[in-house]
Structure formats: C-alpha cells, structure tokens
Amino acid sequence: MEETRIVWMNGNLVPGSEANVPLLSHSFSRGSAIFETFGVHKSTSGPVVFRMDQHLKRLKNSADLLGMELKYGIPEIGEAVAKTIIANNTMRGVVKIMAFWGEEAIVNMVPSSKLDVAIFSLNKNSNLPLDNDTPLRACLSNWRKLDPSSIPVEAKAVGNYLNGYLARREAKDRGYDLSFMLGTDGFLAEGSIESIFLVKKNILQTPKLGKILPSISRMTILEIAQNVGINVKEKNLRIKDLFEADEIFTSHTGVKVHPVMVFEDKEFKIPGPITSQLSKIVHDMIYFKNNKFKHYFKDIV
Ligand SMILES: Cc1ncc(COP(=O)(O)O)c(C=O)c1O
C-alpha cells in the first residue's frame, strides 16, 4: 500500500493503515460489501470526476437491491469523494468507494446497522495502469455468469466477483488475457470486470441489460456511438455472433474501448474502424481535446 494514502472512513480522513475492518465482519466473512469505481481525470481546471452522479446512483441501487442502507446520503458521499481526491493529490486515477458492514457478525446473517463507508482515491501507477489499450486475447469461459434469480447481478457486490475471478483465472490458465461468460440462458453476458461490444456490418452490438452489471462505461459508449451516428443494438447475442463479428472490444472504467485481437482461435484485424473511431473520441474526451462530452465530467471543487 502507498504509505501516504489517505482514506475517508465514516466521516474522517485517516491514514490508509487505519482504514481496516475486522476479519469477522459480515462484509469480509460473508462477502457482502458493495462498491463503486470511477475515474479521476486531469482537466485544465484540476481534477474532475467521470459520471460520479451515475456511479453514486448505482451504489445506492446496489444497496437497495441487497436490502442494505448506506450510513451517508449520496450528496454527503459526493462531498467526501472531493475531499479524498484532494487529500491524495490525485490527478489521474480512480476513486473506489466501499460500503460495508464493518462490525463483527459471527452468526448474524442479517445485520440491522447501516453500511459504513470508506473512500479511496488511487493514483494511476504501475499497479493501476489505466488507459492501456494493448489489444486483448479473449476466450470463452466455461463458467456461466451468475444467474439473476440467484443473486442480483445488477448490484456491484464483492461476493459476485468470485464468479469473475474464476472466469479470469480460467483465461489466464489457458494463456488468454480474459474470458467472456455466457449467462445461464446461453446468451453472451460479460467479462469478469468488463462489458462486451461487437461490431457486425457496421452495427455496434452489446448484450442487453438485465443479466449484467449496468456499466457506466457501456452506457457512455452507447450514448457516444449514437451521438456520432453509429447504429447501435442492445440485444441477446450468441457465441456465433462473436465468431462472426468484424470487431470486438471490451469496456470498463479503466479502459473504455479495449480492442480484442483474438477470440479463441479467431484473429481480428485491429484496430477495426468503429473501434478506432470510438477509441479516438474517448481519448479526446478524457484528455479534454474535445468539449462535446465535457458534461460527463464534474469539477470536484
Ligand atoms: C462485471 C462488470 N461488468 C462491467 C463493468 C464495467 O463497469 P463500469 O463501466 O461501470 O466500470 C464492471 C466494472 O467493474 C464489472 O465489474
């Protein structure tokens, strides 16, 4: 851990070494914490956050879906984010918000307390390589995305990520960078921590919502694509759509357009034209070379 890290923890800025939870807390021992991660970017006026309103809305929604209540209101958390970014002198990095039951809960499966909140502002570095869009080698996972009838997959909950861990582990074991999971219905779902897009005959396609995390990057890419006249379709996609695609890319907070050069044994010519077009727009957006999408950013002071 960076020795100088400052964490906002339940109302106070504390050294990172003091931001801990007991091993027997519900959130650690049952995996019940919820979280959000979003970008901090360097604008001409200082650090700005990327679509924090949407991320905080999703945080609240994660809590609601799991019957949990945050100890702090969304406006208060927004103010705390600003303080944390300033305290850590973050210019390019990510904010990570964790909300959790921090007290010991040994047999109590349903704590009645409100969720503690910890906010981190993590600076881009070699352990946090943001915006690195080196083309990816992807495979199909044998693991299926969690079924929404087992757990709300639209909640960004720590426990859900064992599913993503297994899918990523399988990919690494097979020599790929990442893998794509199908849902239990057999349709394409998402990667461990990323949404999947494909382009076929100039139409940008991505799995529809309902069985995947409602990704803010996914939403942004769909909005940008429509704004620049690219046809988009949110629909049920099958494995064969990946093999028949002209282009595939993944998307998440850290790398909004990440081209895929290999899917299983199929190679793609990269960069494909629509992937390149979107990648350039995103690049210009996050480096403030184009004001068209400036409304996605919010000053923190
Ligand atoms: C399962 C999953 N899908 C998609 C994404 C991308 O979401 P976002 O754009 O909000 O980062 C994430 C991000 O962590 C994720 O965990």
Q: Which residue intervals of the chain bear CATH 3.20.10.10?
A: 136-286
Q: Is 195 close to ligand 1, i.e. is its CB under 6 Å away? A: yes
Question: What tokens does 278 get?
Answer: 């979107």
Q: Is 134 exposed, middle or buried (0-12, 13-18, 19+ CB in 10 A)?
A: exposed
Q: Is the pLDDT of residue 1 over 80?
A: no
How far is residue 95's CA from residue 173's CA, in Å, rounded to a whole number? Answer: 30
Measured CA distances, 139 to 146, 157, 178, 192 (Å):
18, 25, 7, 12
Q: Is 141 close to ligand 1, i.e. is its CB under 6 Å away? A: no
Ligand 1 atom closest to the Cα of residue 190 is 3
Overall pTM surpassing 0.95 (yes/no): yes
Q: Is 51 close to ligand 1, i.e. is its CB under 6 Å away? A: no
Q: What is the predicted pLDDT for the residue at 301?
A: 78
Q: Is the pLDDT of residue 150 over 90?
A: yes
Q: What is the predicted pLDDT for the residue at 41?
A: 97
Q: Given 3.30.470.10, 1.10.3720.10, 3.40.1260.10, 3.40.50.300, which CATH number is that of 6-123? A: 3.30.470.10
Helix residue ranges per DSSP H, 48-199: 52-65, 74-87, 161-173
Percentage of the chain lying above the pLDDT 90 cut:
95
Q: What is the predicted pLDDT for the residue at 57?
A: 98
Q: Is 213 close to ligand 1, i.e. is its CB under 6 Å away? A: yes
Residues 282 and 255 sit within 8 Å (Cβ to Cβ) = no
- For the chain, the average pLDDT equals 97
Interval 168-178: pLDDT, tens: 999 999 999 99
Interval 49-87: pLDDT, tens: 999 999 999 999 999 999 999 999 999 999 999 999 999
Lowest mean pLDDT among 33-42, 192-201, 285-294: 285-294
Q: What is the predicted pLDDT for the residue at 82?
A: 98
- Assigned CATH for 136-286: 3.20.10.10
Interval 229-256: pLDDT, tens: 999 999 999 999 999 999 999 999 999 9
Q: Using CA positions, which residue lies closest to atom 8 of ligand 1? A: 215
How far is residue 34's CA from residue 68's CA, in Å, rounded to a whole number? Answer: 10
Q: Is the pLDDT of residue 268 over 90?
A: yes
Q: Which residue intervals of the chain bear CATH 3.30.470.10?
A: 6-123
Which pLDDT band holds residue 271 (cuts at 50, 70, 90)?
A: confident
How far is residue 63's CA from residue 256's CA, in Å, rounded to a whole number? Answer: 25
Q: Is the pLDDT of residue 278 over 90?
A: yes
- Residue of 50, 58, 195 to test ligand 1 pocket, by largest number of atoms within 8 Å of CB: 195
